[in-house]
Structure 1
Amino acid sequence: MKTIGLVGGMTWKSTLEYYRIINEHINSKLGRFHSARIVLHSIDFELIYSLQEIGQWKEITEIIAEASLSLEYQGADFIVLCSNTIHKVADDVEKSLNIPILNIIDVMAKKISERGLRNIGFLGTKFITEDGFFGYKLKSEYGIKVIMPDINDINYINSVIFKELTNGIIRNESKKKIFDIMDNLIEKGAEGIVLGCTEIPQLIKQKDTKILLFNTLDIHASAAADMALHSV
């Protein structure tokens, strides 16, 4: 079994979910008392968020690269960045490593393509929705068109993520509003919705809607477990 290097803490709540899903997936495949081989570097998210707010992505790249290198030195066979937004620097971070990063965009695109979809709605932080980062990569590399919320809805979702979900606050009012935003994306032609922030699944769940959801946290964590098992 390969050793997974998790760069977590962004936030610690979603990192807990990565740990749980990976281990449950491994145990379901191998049985008995098996669990994943994991090394974790947990980052103080206050620093990352502060740098995101002022657009200091070079500094963020250096922090994530240092964390990833420490995991490589500890024996990780590949890296999992436990955050959608942090994948904005994934390509640059990977250049400093001798091991691969399991990119959340690649595994998400595979799942979308398996369903035969070509138009997808996207919910995430303002840092990756305003500049079209995810949309560009999905379109240019996988032929998937991404339909983003309008700027007011982007700001609303961002506020819910950082003022509520990162603090474990779940509000029905926020849930209803985000479902309304999702309905608008479907009306614009989206065939499903990507939950493009690892905090959003705290609030938005498949059981609460008929809209096809792509939970990137679950998809990414499950893919990490599968990648770890390739050497079994």
Structure 2
Amino acid sequence: MRKLGLIGGMSWVSTRTYYEHINRIVQQRTDRHTSAPLVIESLDFSNLCALKDEADWDRAAGILIAAAQNLVNAGAGAIAIGANSMHRVYDRVAEAVSVPVIHIAECVGQRMEADGVETAALIGTSNVMTESFYRRRLVAHGVDLLPPDMANVETLDRIIYDELIVGKATRDAERKLKTMITVLEQEGAKAIVLACTELELVVDVDANVLPIYDSTHIHAEAAAEWILGSD
């Protein structure tokens, strides 16, 4: 197996999910005593949340580039960034290292294209929902995305940053997400992309009115496939 580097800590909740999901896949495809060879750079999220302007994003890019280089120096043959929003600086990170960086939106887009999904709604943090860096990756795979509802953007940012990143999953948040997804179906969405690595805490992927594409699990599956040499 090949050693994967994971840039985590954004938040620790999603890093836990990546670690568990990658190892479960590796175990299922090998034997019950096997663990995935991983090296993890767990960042301090307090230095990377609430990024406002380009100076903030430049600073974030520097932090992620240093983390990626540390992972390569530790023997990682590929890297995954365990956060959707941080893929805003993906190109700069990928250019700074000599190993492949597995793009989360590319993994989601490929899965949706294979499934024939043509119209979907994207839910996540405000920068993922409103900026082009993530949306264009899905559009390139033939997915037409509904425009973001700014009321949803505000609600999601509050739930994600005030609750989910500290591991808090409330019934109120579950109800809000269920209502949001139901309304998006009424507006024409044929699938939902969970473009935040913590949203699985309050969205039941298997019990919804629409197919749910959970970016965290899809990204972790791609990482496990790389580890196993089946990329």
The TM-score range, normalised by the shorter chain, is over 0.9
The residue aligned with 2:207 is 208
Q: CA deviation at 1:46?
A: 0.4
Aligned partner of residue 217 in structure 2, secondary structure: helix
Per-residue CA shift, 1:36-94, capped at 9, x if unaligned?
100010000000004x1445211111110000000001100000100111111111110
The residue aligned with 1:144 is 143
Q: How does 1:55-70 map to 2 (within 5 A)?
A: 55=54, 56-70=56-70
Give the distance between the partners of 1:231 and 1:211, measured in 2 at CA: 29
How many residue pairs align between the two structures?
A: 230
Conserved 8 A contact 2:123-2:193? yes
Conserved 8 A contact 2:5-2:38? yes
Q: Can you give the 5+ residue segments of structure 1 that lack an aligned partner in the other structure?
A: none
Q: CA deviation at 1:184?
A: 2.0
- How many percent identity over aligned positions? 28
Q: CA deviation at 1:129?
A: 1.2
Give the distance between the partners of 1:144 and 1:194, measured in 2 at CA: 11
Conserved 8 A contact 2:106-2:137? no
Conserved 8 A contact 2:79-2:102? yes
The residue aligned with 2:2 is 2
RMSD of the alignment, in Å? 1.5
Q: Can you give the 5+ residue segments of structure 2 that lack an aligned partner in the other structure?
A: none
The residue aligned with 1:112 is 112
Q: Which moved more, 1:159-168 or 1:123-132?
A: 123-132
Conserved 8 A contact 2:113-2:142? no
Give the distance between the partners of 2:2 and 2:223, measured in 1 at CA: 10
Conserved 8 A contact 1:8-1:15? yes
Q: Which moved more, 1:86-95 or 1:147-156?
A: 147-156
| TM-score normalised to structure 2 length | 0.95
Q: 1:168 to 1:162 in 2, by over 3 A?
A: same
The residue aligned with 1:34 is 34
Q: Which moved more, 1:38-47 or 1:172-181?
A: 172-181
Q: Which moved more, 1:1-10 or 1:30-39?
A: 30-39
The residue aligned with 1:127 is 127
The residue aligned with 1:191 is 190
Conserved 8 A contact 2:182-2:209? no
Q: CA deviation at 1:128?
A: 1.5
The residue aligned with 1:174 is 173
Conserved 8 A contact 1:192-1:212? yes
Runs of 4+ aligned residues of structure 1 deviating over 3 Å after TM superposition are: none
Conserved 8 A contact 1:2-1:77? yes
The residue aligned with 1:221 is 220
| TM-score normalised to structure 1 length | 0.94
Aligned partner of residue 16 in structure 2, secondary structure: helix
Q: Which moved more, 1:201-210 or 1:20-29?
A: 201-210
The residue aligned with 2:94 is 94
Match for 2:82: what amino acid?
Answer: C
Q: Verify: 1:44 aligned to 2:62, yes or no.
A: no
Match for 2:186: what amino acid?
Answer: E
Q: CA deviation at 1:196?
A: 0.4
